[in-house]
């Protein structure tokens, strides 16, 4: 790996001039520039991003940090991909971190990203009132929350209208004459799940259906297993739900397993709606009715906000709320058990 100095020698100019060429500075004689360019090519020179970062000012490190719960969750991989595509077009690279919803791990990575002098951090905060995230915001590093809000402070945020999505999913079930509608949700520490539950409850209330706490279950959003067990519990109930609203894709997998296990046929025996549209939702038998979140677009939007803030740290914080889309497919059609209507 050759250095800037070597290029400077080769081209018979000062290091400064080479630097100017690298950075497309205006005032360089075309001839000189050509000479430098040729030397760079000859030596196969690539500027060290590390040195550039150390010396340069904030906002030019060409590095972004992303902390998500788990890249194996397809919703988050869509977001990550959206971010990366925008970053790529700006010549930025992305450090990707998985938190596993573990605050210690989140804090660790927040420290690392700071030590790496990233130009910005994008993340769904684990806790709406977490201190680690607060800390990084205070350092002045641009932060954008995606998927989940941060309640403690004003931050740029990209979220889906969770309440609305949950409301329309639940209303759809109610329109199908369901009265006993269960929900598999997760801890309200996550703003997204809290809001989804609110939307669910609001829909019930608006249709004069009492909220029944025994039909509300909180599972682990990172895997399917707790959801499977909770569904089993729900099915065992004296007055079991005739429909289920499941608040994310991983938990839906667990629900589906439980249903299969108990030989419940969808939608004949029970109707279901899942939050998140997944590639596999359409090829299920029956295809799943879903609330689609535009993960990729959310990622793109979040990245754009980061770059805006890098360019102008003074601008007002914004909160972008994207719209979920209810996609009705067969998993909520043709419900048969008359007594439940």
The footprint of DNA (CB under 7 A) covers 1, 3-5, 12-20, 22-23, 26-29, 31-33, 45-48, 51-52, 54-57, 60
Q: Could you tell me the smallest distance in angstroms from the CB atom of residue 148 to a copy of itself?
A: 20
Q: Does 311 bind a copy of itself (CB under 8 A)?
A: no
Quote the CA–CA distance of 317 and 157 in Å, as a whole number.
Answer: 8
User: CB of residue 8 vs DNA: minimum separation in angstroms?
Assistant: 8
Q: Does 283 bind a copy of itself (CB under 8 A)?
A: yes
For DNA, the closer of residues 12 and 317 by Cβ is: 12
Nearest CA among 217, 214, 221, 211 for reference residue 231: 217
Q: What are phi and psi of 176, to 5 degrees?
A: -85, 10
Show the tokens assigned to 99: 């938190």
Choosing among a copy of itself, DNA, none, which partner's interface includes residue 70 (Cβ < 5 to 8 Å by kind)? a copy of itself
Smallest gap, in angstroms, from Cβ of residue 19 to DNA?
A: 3
Between 15 and 240, whose beta carbon lies closer to DNA? 15
Name the residue among 79, 144, 136 with its Cα closest to residue 112: 136
Q: Which two tokens mark 53? A: 């970062």
| Strand 243-246 versus strand 181-185 pairing type | parallel
Among 15, 28, 96, 209, binds a copy of itself (CB under 8 A): 96
Least distance to a copy of itself, CB of residue 191, Å: 24
For residues 139 and 238, give the distance between their C-alpha atoms in angstroms, rounded to a whole number.
54
| Closest separation in Å from C-beta 256 to a copy of itself | 4
Minimum CB–partner distance for residue 27 and DNA (Å) = 4
Which residue, 1 or 283, has its beta carbon nearer to DNA? 1
CA–CA distance, 253 with 322 (Å, rounded to integer): 25
Question: How many residues at the interface with a copy of itself, by CB under 8 A?
Answer: 52
Q: Which CB sits closer to a copy of itself, 98 or 197?
A: 98
Query: Looking at 42, 260, 337, 341, which residue binds a copy of itself (CB under 8 A)?
Result: 260
Choice between 130 and 295, CB closer to a copy of itself: 295
Chain residues 58-87 in contact with a copy of itself, contact rule CB under 8 A: 61, 63, 70-72, 74, 77-78, 80-81, 84-85
Please give the backbone phi and psi of residue 205, each rounded to the nearest 5 degrees, phi first.
-60, -45
Identify which of residues 67 and 291 has a Cβ nearer to a copy of itself in the complex: 67
32 binds a copy of itself (CB under 8 A): no
- Per partner kind, with CB cut-offs from 5 to 8 A, the member of DNA, a copy of itself, none near residue 16 is DNA
Cis status, amide bond into 246, omega within 30 of 0: no
User: Both tokens of residue 2?
Assistant: 């050759």
Nearest in space to 55 (alpha carbons), one of 110, 16, 109: 16
Structure tokens at 122: 């994008």
Residues 131-150, one symbol each (x = binds a copy of itself by CB under 8 A, - = not), give: --------x-----------
Does 327 bind a copy of itself (CB under 8 A)? Our answer is: no
Give the shortest CB-121-to-DNA separation in angstroms: 19
| Strand pairing report for 243-246 and 216-218 | unpaired
Binding residues for a copy of itself, per CB under 8 A? 1, 46-51, 53-54, 61, 63, 70-72, 74, 77-78, 80-81, 84-85, 88, 93-98, 105, 108-109, 111-117, 139, 224, 250, 253, 256-257, 260, 278-280, 282-285
């Amino acid at each position: 790996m050759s250095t800037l100095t070597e290029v400077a020698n080769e081209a018979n100019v000062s290091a400064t001039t080479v630097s100017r060429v690298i950075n497309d500075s205006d005032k360089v004689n075309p001839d000189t520039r050509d000479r430098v360019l040729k030397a760079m090519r000859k030596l196969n020179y690539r500027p060290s991003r590390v040195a550039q970062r150390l010396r340069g000012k904030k906002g030019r490190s060409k590095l972004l940090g992303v902390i998500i719960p788990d890249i194996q969750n397809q919703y988050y991989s869509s977001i990550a991909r959206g971010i990366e595509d925008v970053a790529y077009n700006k010549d930025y690279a992305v450090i990707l971190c998985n938190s596993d919803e573990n605050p210690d791990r989140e804090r660790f990575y927040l420290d690392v990203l700071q030590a790496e002098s990233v130009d910005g951090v994008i993340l769904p905060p684990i806790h709406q009132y977490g201190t680690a995230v607060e800390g990084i915001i205070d350092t002045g590093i641009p932060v954008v929350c995606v998927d989940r809000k941060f309640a403690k402070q004003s931050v740029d945020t990209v979220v889906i209208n969770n309440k609305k999505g949950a409301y329309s999913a639940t209303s759809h079930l109610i329109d199908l004459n369901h009265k006993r509608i269960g929900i598999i949700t997760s801890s309200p520490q996550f703003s997204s799940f809290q809001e989804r539950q609110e939307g669910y409850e609001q829909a019930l209330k608006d249709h004069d259906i009492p909220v029944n706490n025994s039909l509300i279950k909180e599972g682990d959003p990172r895997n399917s297993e707790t959801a499977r067990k909770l569904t089993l519990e729900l099915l065992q109930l004296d007055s079991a739900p005739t429909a289920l609203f499941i608040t994310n894709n991983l938990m839906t997998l667990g629900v589906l397993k439980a249903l299969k296990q108990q030989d419940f046929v969808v939608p004949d025996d029970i109707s279901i709606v899942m939050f998140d549209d997944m590639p596999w939702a359409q090829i299920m038998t029956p295809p799943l009715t879903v609330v689609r979140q535009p993960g990729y677009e959310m990622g793109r939007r979040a990245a754009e906000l980061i770059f805006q803030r890098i360019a102008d740290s003074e601008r007002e914080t914004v909160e972008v709320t994207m719209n979920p889309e209810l996609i009705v497919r067969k998993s909520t059609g043709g419900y048969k058990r008359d007594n439940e209507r």
